[in-house]
Amino acid sequence: MQMRVLGGTGIKVSPYCFGAMNFGTWANTDREEASRIINAALDAGLNFVDTADRYSDGESERIVGQAIKGRREDVVLATKFHGPMGEDVNRQGNSRRWMVRAVEDSLRRLDTDHIDLYQMHRPDPDTDIEESLSALTDLVRAGKIRAFGSSTFPAEQIVEAQWVSQRRGFERLRTEQPPYSILNRTIESAVLPTAQRYGMGVLVWSPLAMGWLTGKYRNGVDMSTGRAAIMPAMYDPAAPANVRKAAAVEELAKIAADAGISLTHLAMAFSIAHPGVTSAIIGPRTREQLDDLLAGADVVLDDETLDRIDAVVAPGTAINPEDSFYTPREISETTLRRRPAATRSAA
């Protein structure tokens, strides 16, 4: 695989990144099989592995640490923090207090002395970004991490973080990890241009749109198995957004067939075609899924095919806006967007 530079760090990474979310109690619980799958990916040329402390309550990190033992120096290792790791309200978020504990926990589970890319899994409205950047900078200078980034941050918060780093002399965000697929192209409007402006690497997640672009969820197909059994609302065939997704998938399947490739390979090739994207995260649960993904690693889409995709889902748009997987507090909490009734004025 032709390696790409990760956000100006000088670190070279593969255009596919192995995501380990599906290893552990959330999906595949067989540690030995998981290790074999990860090593098969590394043997095939991937050198980038991404996980998070929250995945299966740390089990994913343990599996990754065990799998790469003996070849750690050949792996660009990324993990994330932010999500709750227990009932204590302070064992979550992007505060310095939690971060310095979380990184030690991840280092122990991964069985390594450093993390190549440490990422804030989501924005934390309760923590000043200066607090987070200061702590992350200290972790870089202590040698515990090599670089840090964000995940699912809106463009304006990425800009704010860059400005704070510049003003305060902190290390800066080197990467962003947003959702991106043919069915969800919203990052093309602001996040990708912002990342490009600041020379950030972008590793996109869910390039197969939570399984919709594998062809598993199509008209006339049972949508109650697999991931749909865990998150039924996301695959409810009666939901208007899912009706639109199913229709789009049928059109995309025709485009893939005309191009002589599978729908999965069409989706993966699209996800790494944008010049602002460094790497796309794949998350196979089985060896068969990995082999299928790797078989399409060299697919390159021509302009005619990309134009046809644009006609199905317009650039910068999403069939379901909720697929951003992050809603700012200013939107989700009604009290932040409505004046108290007693102070409202008809004027």
Asked if residue 347 belongs to a domain, the reply is no
Determine which one of 16, 55, 118, 180 is catalytic. 55
- Dig out the tokens for 151 from the structure: 């995940």
Q: Which domain holds residue 41?
A: 4-210+263-338
User: Does the residue 240 lie in any domain?
Assistant: no
CA distances (Å), 327 to each of 40, 62, 333, in order? 37, 30, 10
Q: Is residue 304 part of a domain?
A: yes
Where is average pLDDT lowest: 7-21, 167-181, 218-232, 261-275? 218-232
The total domain count for the chain is: 1
| Residue 242 domain-assigned (yes or no) | no
Tens of pLDDT along 68-96? 999 999 999 999 999 999 999 999 999 99
Does the annotation count 55 as an active-site position? yes
What is the spatial distance between Cα 271 and Cα 203, in angstroms, rounded to a whole number? 10
The CATH number covering residue 312 comes to 3.20.20.100
User: DSSP assignment of 52-121, as one string?
Assistant: -TTGGGGHHHHHHHHHTTT-GGG-EEEEEE-S--SS-TTSSSS-HHHHHHHHHHHHHHHT-S-EEEEEES
- Amino acid in the structure at residue 108: R
220 belongs to a structural domain: no
Region 223-240: what's the mean pLDDT?
A: 74
Please give the pLDDT value at position 289. Answer: 96
Query: Between helices 263-271 and 303-312, what is the axis angle to 10°?
Result: 100
What pLDDT shows up at residue 146?
98
Has residue 232 got a pLDDT over 80?
Answer: no
pLDDT digits (tens, 9 = 90+) for 126-161: 999 999 999 999 999 999 999 999 999 999 999 999
Q: What is the pLDDT of residues 260-294, one digit of tens each?
A: 999 999 999 999 999 999 999 999 999 999 999 99
Any domain includes 233: no
Rounded to an integer, what distance in angstroms lies between the CA atom of residue 318 and that of residue 329? Answer: 21
pTM attached to this predicted model? 0.94
Q: Is residue 216 part of a domain?
A: no
Determine, yes or no, domain membership for 284.
Answer: yes
Residue 194 pLDDT exceeds 70: yes
